[in-house]
Amino acid sequence: MLKQCEGSHAVAEAVAMCRPEVICAYPISPQTHIVEGIGEMVKSGELKNCEFINVESEFAAMSVAIGASAGGARSYTATASQGLLFMVEAVYNASGLGLPIVMTVANRAIGAPINIWNDHSDSLSQRDCGWIQLFAETNQEALDLHIQAFKLAEELSLPVMVCMDGFILTHAYERVDMPTQEQVDAYLPPYEPRQVLDPAEPVSIGAMVGPEAFMEVRYLAHAKQMQALERIPQLAEEFKVCFGRDSGGLTHTYMTDDAETIIIAMGSVLGTIKDTVDVMREAGHKIGVLGITSYRPFPLAAVREALKNCKRFVVLEKSLAVGIGGIVATDVRMAVTGMGLKGYTVVAGLGGRAITMKSLTAMLEKAGRDELDLVTFLDLDWKVVNKQLAREKEVRRSGPAAEAMLRDIGAVAARNY
Amino acid sequence: MFQVRIHGRGGQGVVTAAEMLSIAAFEEGRHAQAFPSFGSERTGAPVVAFCRIADKEIRLREPIMEPDALIIQDPTLLHQVDVFAGLKKDGYILINTNKTFEQLGLSDFLRDWHPERLCTVSATELGMKHVGRPMPNVPLLGGFAAVSGIIKLESVNKAIRDKFSGKIAEGNIAGAAEAFKIVRAEMKEALSHA
């Protein structure tokens, strides 16, 4: 059924239709509306056979999810930003133990400086934690990916993060096609754990593993992610049969067949990029778009295939690997090893900086002429940066940098338009 | 694509107004996208929310920098925030005030604008009258249906019923209807002088 609702609400409904048995979460913007929504459904009795557990922190949230999952319950939580960082030790445990928890990450920047707005720093900081990471382009895809995520997680006994852009998606009202409970039940079978803490058949989960087997256990985690590379496109196909629409998969391409330049990105910015490409195509620029849905496992072969006919690629990412440049770009470069392509990294949208068609157009025109720097910071205010650098050169006690830069800008309140 | 920017203050239902506008457009079978300006807003602080309406899927996610229409829920913002930034020539403006554009000192700035696109309505008073709270957002949507013609009043009523129920819904529907009528009359008046 088509409905106009908030992204968080759409996700809350989708998660409820997946019949979770334990939900534990700690509120943090911009994730809060999701768990509030599910909490209301548990309280009203709309979501049955589900325990909603209030916890005192994100560390506790993930720890409860681990315990619940090990006890054989379908478990869900959601977080963002510092909340994700606070639960990191348990995040690694969930994947290390092979527990199929599903977690929404409402992507948000990481401080300091504190910032509640969107970028991908939080989930990308957990690049190597062993969780599958799927990125949604729209609220429809966010909703759909949660349904796929439970199936994928439970089949492989691996936890899955569904990443959706904080505020840009979570707080956006847009049209979604809400599936029926019957459709979800037909797609997602009940959870059959591979391992369960059962007094009738006692087992240990989480024993110490020494040098004799640690590498093998770790390799197994890698092997499972390689299995996920196979299963993710199949699950998207099965989803299409059940629900009648394309959602998920490893990657999405847009006008790549004859493209000389391909721009690669993750999440909601792909929409703005596609609109930009439509306009630029009319002006004769042969540009295509590659959206990466599955960031972990990283679809090396699919990326290589999508880029096989282009001359250059631009990775636009809402993240910064301080000291080198791009995070996603590094993976893309590995995918295209030996292909002789020109590659550019564009860091954009950090901490909610708007990514506009105007800036994308100028950047892509420059890329088309191969005049783009290898690493570009889109719409960076160099005046403010240079002023601070000069100040630090001049005075030893130059004071806190962020506050000085805010003063230089004359900011009275945050704005992004 | 028709793009609306709503300016107001925390507590005035700015974000809710944008959401309801999107629901109203959805009810007419159109695509719509509403989103807030993503701030850590608090009561009284300037707040912005956006709404796009189109006949096909809306993919664009940038903030609305060149709106076709503005709804200004608090006239004191005229002196604090550049509410008119990027407004398209001949765009629609609806301000919550009991003053005229001339009394607000905006006549020079908007001299060659279509006069029937510049409307005001005392939406806070209508909120008090019909719902018993100084909430201007819903009456303004009724007024906006009149001035912009982009959505029908009946669709605004559907959006009201989606967000509210019982007495509050009925009060808001009455408030929106009165604002619609006031703005219609104002437009007629403006055209008769043009």
Distance in Å, alpha carbon of A271 to nearest chain B alpha carbon: 4
- The token duo for B88 is 């398209």
C-alpha neighbours within 13 Å on the C-beta side of residue A36: 12
List, as one string, the DSSP characters of A299-366: -HHHHHHHTTT-SEEEEEES--BTTTB-SHHHHHHHHTTTS--EEEEEE--GGG----HHHHHHHHHH
Do A173 and B34 count as a contact with CB atoms less than 8 A apart? Answer: yes
Q: Which residues contact A244 (CB under 8 A, 6 or more apart)?
A: none
Q: What residues of A are in contact with residue B37 (Cβ under 8 Å)?
A: 415-417
Q: Using the structure block, give the residue that is written with the tokens 């195509």.
A: A281
Residues of A with CB under 8 A from a CB of B: 2-4, 6, 29-30, 116-118, 167-168, 171-175, 268-272, 274-275, 352, 354-357, 413-417
Q: What residues of B are in contact with residue A414 (Cβ under 8 Å)?
A: 39-40
- The token duo for A328 is 């996603």
Measure the CA–CA gap between A384 and A87, rounded to whole angstroms: 35
Specify the fold of A2-243: Rossmann fold (3.40.50)
Question: Which of B37, B41, B61, B87 should be substituted to probe chain A, the one whose Cβ sees the most A Cβ atoms within 10 Å?
Answer: B61
Q: What residues of A are in contact with residue B46 (Cβ under 8 Å)?
A: 413
Asked if A272 and A306 count as a contact pair (C-beta separation under 8 A), the reply is no
Give domain limits for chain A: 2-243, 251-377, 381-417
Q: How many domains are there within chain B?
A: 1
pLDDT in tens, B33-53: 999 986 656 888 889 999 999
pLDDT of residue B39: 65
Do A174 and B33 count as a contact with CB atoms less than 8 A apart? Answer: yes
- Per-residue pLDDT for chain A (417 aa), expressed as one digit of tens each? 999 999 999 999 999 999 999 999 999 999 999 999 999 999 999 999 999 999 999 999 999 999 999 999 999 999 999 999 999 999 999 999 999 999 999 999 999 999 999 999 999 999 999 999 999 999 999 999 999 999 999 999 999 999 999 999 999 999 999 999 999 999 999 999 999 999 999 999 999 999 999 999 999 999 999 999 999 999 999 999 999 999 999 999 999 999 999 999 999 999 999 999 999 999 999 999 999 999 999 999 999 999 999 999 999 999 999 999 999 999 999 999 999 999 999 999 999 999 999 999 999 999 999 999 999 999 999 999 999 999 999 999 999 999 999 999 987 666 766
Do B59 and A272 count as a contact with CB atoms less than 8 A apart? Answer: yes
- The token duo for B77 is 């913002």
Distance in Å, alpha carbon of B148 to nearest chain A alpha carbon: 21
Do A167 and B38 count as a contact with CB atoms less than 8 A apart? Answer: yes
Question: Which of B35, B47, B62 should be substituted to probe chain A, the one whose Cβ sees the most A Cβ atoms within 10 Å?
Answer: B62
Amino acid at A369: R
CA angle A264, A268, A273 (to 5 degrees): 50
Residue of A115, A225, A103, A112 lying closest to A164 (CA atoms): A103
Do B35 and A417 count as a contact with CB atoms less than 8 A apart? Answer: no
The CATH code of the domain that includes B76 is 3.40.920.10
Measure the CA–CA gap between A103 and A99, rounded to whole angstroms: 12
Q: What residues of A are in contact with residue B34 (Cβ under 8 Å)?
A: 172-174
Do B26 and A356 count as a contact with CB atoms less than 8 A apart? Answer: no
Q: What residues of A are in contact with residue B32 (Cβ under 8 Å)?
A: 4, 173-175
**H helix or E strand, kind and range, residue A209:** none
Please give the distance of CA A367 from its chain centroid, rounded to a whole number.
26
- Minimum CA–CA partner of B35 in chain A: A172
Coil/strand/helix, residue A398: coil
Q: Which residue spans within B30-105 are E strands per DSSP? A: 31-36, 46-54, 69-72, 92-96
Amino acid at A122: D
- Minimum CA–CA partner of A172 in chain B: B35
Residues of B with CB under 8 A from a CB of A: 15, 18-19, 22-23, 26-27, 31-40, 45-46, 48, 58-65, 85
CB atoms near residue A270 (< 10 Å): 27
CA angle A101, A62, A223 (to 5 degrees): 45
Q: What's the 3-state SS for A33-99?
A: HHHHHHHHHHHHCCCCCCEEEECCCHHHHHHHHHHHHHCCCCEEEEECHHHHHHCHHHHHHHHHCCC
- Same topology, domains A2-243 and A251-377? Answer is yes
Distance in Å, alpha carbon of B64 to nearest chain A alpha carbon: 7
Do B23 and A168 count as a contact with CB atoms less than 8 A apart? Answer: no
pLDDT of residue B38: 63
pLDDT of residue B116: 95
Measure the CA–CA gap between A307 and A326, rounded to whole angstroms: 18
Pairing status of strand A51-54 against strand A22-25: parallel
Could you tell me the CA-to-CA distances from A269 to A55, A316, A356 in Å, in that order? 33, 9, 9
Distance in Å, alpha carbon of B8 to nearest chain A alpha carbon: 14
Report, as ranges of residue numbers, the positions in chain B whose pLDDT lies below 50: none
C-alpha neighbours within 13 Å on the C-beta side of residue A216: 5
Measure the CA–CA gap between A346 and A352, rounded to whole angstroms: 15
Of A4, A118, A414, the CB nearest to B22: A4
**H helix or E strand, kind and range, residue A123:** helix A121-125
Distance in Å, alpha carbon of A120 to nearest chain B alpha carbon: 16
Measure the CA–CA gap between A360 and A358, rounded to whole angstroms: 6
**Residue B25 belongs to domain spanning:** 2-193
pLDDT of residue B42: 80
What size, in residues, is chain A?
Answer: 417
CATH number of A251-377: 3.40.50.920
ipTM above 0.90, yes or no: yes
pLDDT of residue B41: 66
- Minimum CA–CA partner of B20 in chain A: A173
What size, in residues, is chain B?
Answer: 194
